[in-house]
Amino acid sequence: MSTLMKEDGFDYVFNPSACEECAGRCCTGESGYIYVSKAEIEAIAKLLELDVKEFMREYLFKKMYKYSIKERKNGDSYECVFYDAATNGCSIYDARPLQCKTFPFWDYYKTRVDELKLECPGILDKEDESV
Ligand code: SF4
Ligand code: SF4
């Protein structure tokens, strides 16, 4: 039996073993925003051994009053610049932003489970918890 993750207030559970076969769909696909706070910016810059300003110039862009991680185009798709296809993982994993850490348990998806299932193959209904 897999170890499923669950969070109070969510009608679904998450099977993390699905990530092995998934090719990082949550880090790739449609263009989106990967927001980073000031503390997260400092933590990622430190991990990459970069000056904060240099890191921001190279890897972030401003969206209204926030900062988001840049993406690169890959065919018809986009991917976070820190997605590493070779390892199917995140190259800043230890300092990845909260937005990434909390996926797939976002308030946005509480009422949009079908949309989430299309993106993430690890989503199961609560009644499937015995999987
Ligand atoms: S989309 Fe879901 S299964 Fe795929 S890598 Fe992201 S969390 Fe894992
Ligand atoms: S920071 Fe890491 S976990 Fe977050 S979208 Fe980029 S590659 Fe994925």
DSSP track, 16-65: GGGHHHH--TTTEES----EE-HHHHHHHHHHTT--HHHHHHHHEEEETT
**How far is the centre of ligand 2, averaged over its atoms, from the C-alpha of 1 (Å)?**
27
Residues with CB under 6 Å of ligand 1 are 18-19, 22, 24-26, 103-104, 119-122
Tens-place pLDDT, residues 43-95: 999 999 999 999 999 999 999 999 999 999 999 999 999 999 999 999 999 99
Q: CA separation (Å) from 77 to 31, 114, 116, 117?
A: 8, 21, 18, 19
Model confidence over 18-37: pLDDT tens digits? 999 998 999 999 999 999 99
Quote the pTM value.
0.92
Residue 128 has pLDDT above 80, yes or no: no
Which residue has its alpha carbon closest to ligand 2 atom 4? 100
